[in-house]
Structure 1
Amino acid sequence: MSTAASTPLFACSRCFSRHPFEELSPGEQLCKECRGLFPVVKCTYCRSEFQQTSKSNTSSICKKCEANVKLYGKPTACEYCNTIAAFIGNKCQRCANSERKYGAAVTCEQCKQRCAFDRHDDSKKNMLQVDGKLLCWLCTQSLKRALARTKQHLSVDKHKHRGHNSHKDKRKSDMMKSKNSGDSLNESQPSEKKSKLNPLQGELDPNSSDHVVAMTQLKETIASLQKKVQQKEMELLSKDKLITELKAQHHNNTTDLRNEMKNKERMNETKFTLMNTKIQNLLKEVATLSKSAKKNNKNTKSLLSNTENSGSGTDSPSTN
């Protein structure tokens, strides 16, 4: 039984063609042909990359965040990495899991935010330890993309350089054949014809100054292109850093505004409570004064009635 026949095959989740498991994309389980039909985008919330699976559905939210939105509503900014992915509480799931597993967050050496996690003894598996620097997840992904682009550019340049070398070897082979044929002609022809062929051999010499100059120019061009690529990568990293800083500043400004609004609401509630208390006290005083005034009026009327009655008794005539 052949090895190919014994290898288990798995179906593509889109076209249902069967392939070895390692040829399918992680997560979506798509084959190479289906992967090429749809772009890879970043999730608006968690910033992780995923591949769209339908041309009609161009959503930039991954399935996990989409499910969380339906369950918990729109997320808020994570207090560590500032991604808008905190569905429960004030931390995104990535930072919450890392904090629970590796302890408190530390400062990222790239974006200078307190959003990296030191894995300590797990350094062999620590994918966030890049070139001896402790980076957060976002900066690590950005650096990996930059390194991948650089590697791709270098691979293209190397391929071009190999093509140039093969072309150069072919030219050398042709020149050697031409030289050998020239030598054989020189042996059979008179000395006059031999003197006419010698200048041509000098022009085809691979060690001539023109050939060396051309090779030097090509090497300088390759070095210049590689330098430009590195500069572009540094500019991209700088822009990513600036974007992260702006996000952090926006998050801080939003937090300050929210705190200010909460303080004003608290002050207004305190004033409202004091005014209500004062009004209640004034109403009690009004009720007390009103009751006292009614009592005084009643006493006054009683006194006047008694006075009138005593006056009428004094003025009445004697019966004797």
Structure 2
Amino acid sequence: MPAPLLKKCFNCRMFLTEDAVNLSQCLKCQKNEAKYGKPGTCEYCKLNAAFHDQKCVWCSHAERKFGSPFTCFNCKLRCAFPRRECDKMEGAALLCRLCILQARQTNQTMVAGIPVPPEKPERSGEGSSSEHRDRDRDRRNNQSSSSHQQKDNNRREDRRQRDRESSRRSGQKRRHPDETNNNSSNGASSSGVPPLLPNNENGHGFPPFAERDHGESMVKQQKMEDEIRRLKSLVQEKEMQIFDKDRQISTLKAEQYNIEKKHRERVQQLIKEKEDSIRAIEHMRSSKSSKKN
């Protein structure tokens, strides 16, 4: 099955699972669309996920549980619901659900000077969200990759230690027969040519092969880690831009919906005024004809 084109649902902006059949909608939005039809724009968070009563599922549930929303300190939309009694006042430092999700995705602890609330522990059952499952899966993958990397480093260190010991033993074996042939060495020294002295512990004038290979692999690994960090920061940048574009699109859709609604109301008002005028004219005509008779 191909991977989802979007990491989040087009309607509610929740994370899509890897086994999602629809590549742009989550399972909950698919069920709601099949039950209620095409969604409208939520009057609070401006997402295209209002399947019933012009509110999305999250805003409707939060309104029933916590009361009327207040203005989000970050995005300035009236979609931040106070969870504590001390926050139920105008101007309180609150964050909406979307800003909290975006901050958790980018591992931010502060947004607009407000601390991001920590995630609740995932409950077993149907209530666990796909976002928590994805985050736990990423955490397990990072832990396993770090443990594998530690094992690889330990193996390389052991191999390097064995190579050093073997090269030291081989150097000692080579030096032992050289001591029995002192005549040849004395002849070389008497001829004025200095003997070749090893400048490494393996008895050769160049570093051991294992050390060279280990150094090259460390350089390559450092380059790859730097490239991964750069790509991760680039992906986070792009996701922030996509999030801002989605919010702008939702705001424009909400404005277009309000304009069309006002236009329809104005047209209905004009039609009603026209019908009232026609009735008044007919009444005047009927009254004049009755007076003539």
TM-score (norm 1): 0.57
Of residues 127, 136, 144, the one that matches 2:96 is 136
Equivalent position to 2:249, from 246, 265, 289: 246
**2:31 matched residue in structure 1:** 66
CA distance in 1, matches of 2:29, 2:262: 31
Question: Aligned equivalents of 2:234 and 2:33: distance in 1?
Answer: 40
Distance 1:121 1:176 in 2: 68
Distance 1:90 1:143 in 2: 26
Q: What's the counterpart of residue 263 of structure 2?
A: 260
Indicate yes or no: 2:237 matched with 1:237.
no
Judged with a 3 Å threshold, the aligned counterparts in structure 2 of structure 1 residues 158 and 226 are, in CA distance, closer, same or farther, namely: farther
Unaligned runs of 5+ in 2: 88-92, 108-134, 180-184, 186-194
Aligned to 2:58: 94
In the TM superposition, what whole-angstrom CA distance separates every residue of 1:22-69 from its partner, at most 9, and x where no partner exists?
xxxxxxxxxxxxxx99989866654545769897x9994635862685
**Matched residue type, 1:168:** R
Shift of 1:252: 1.3
Deviation per residue, 1:207-229 (Å, 9 max, x gap): 88x97687456435423421331
State the match for 1:114 in structure 2: 78
Contact 1:76 1:86 (8 Å CA) reproduced: yes
Question: What does residue 168 of structure 1 align with?
Answer: 156
Question: 2:73·2:95 contact (CA, 8 Å) conserved in 1?
Answer: yes
Once the 2 structures are TM-superposed, how far is the Cα of residue 167 of structure 1 from its aligned partner?
5.1
When structure 1 is superposed on structure 2, of 275-284 and 159-168 the one drifting more is: 159-168
Q: Please say which structure displays the higher CA radius of gyration.
A: 1
Contact 2:69 2:80 in 1 (8 A): yes
Instruction: Report the alpha carbon displacement of residue 246 of structure 1 after superposing the two structures with TM.
Output: 1.1
Bigger RCO of structures 1 and 2 (CA < 8 A, at least 6 apart)? 2
Structure 1 residues 141 and 152 mapped into 2: Cα distance closer, same or farther (>3 Å)? farther
Separation in 2, partners of 1:281, 1:248: 50
- Distance in 1, matches of 2:26 and 2:217, equals 52
Residue pair 2:41, 2:250 contacting (<8 A) in 1 also:
no
Asked if the contact 2:70–2:79 (Cα under 8 Å) also holds between the matched residues in 1, the reply is yes
Q: Say if 1:118 and 1:253 are closer, same or farther in 2 by CA, change over 3 A.
A: same
Give the Cα–Cα distance (whole angstroms) in 1 for the partners of residues 169 and 141 of structure 2: 42
Q: Is the 8 A contact 1:38 1:51 kept in 2?
A: no
Q: Measure the CA separation in 2 of the matches of 1:212 and 1:99.
A: 60
Distance 1:182 1:197 in 2: 15
Percent sequence identity is 21
1: CA distance between counterparts of 2:160 and 2:149?
A: 16
CA contact (8 A) 1:80 1:115 kept: yes
Deviation at 1:203, TM superposition (A): 1.0
Cα distance in 2 between the residues matched to 1:176 and 1:253: 75
CA RMSD of aligned residues (A): 4.5
Matched, 1:286 2:250: no
Q: TM-score, normalised by structure 2?
A: 0.62
Which of the pair is proportionally richer in helix? 1
> Closer, same or farther in 2 for the Cα pair 1:150/1:50, shift >3 Å?
closer
Name the CA distance, whole Å, in 2 between partners of 1:254 and 1:197. 81
SS at match of 1:282: helix
Q: Which structure dedicates a bigger proportion of its chain to strand?
A: 1
- For the 8 Å contact 1:42–1:50, the answer to whether it is kept is yes
Give unpaired runs (5+ residues) of structure 1.
Answer: 1-35, 124-132, 292-320
For the residues of structure 1 that align with 2:29 and 2:230, how far apart are their CA atoms?
40
Matches for 1:165-314 after TM superposition, within 5 Å:
165-166=153-154, 168-190=156-178, 195=197, 198=200, 200=204, 202-204=206-208, 215=218, 218-289=221-292, 291=293
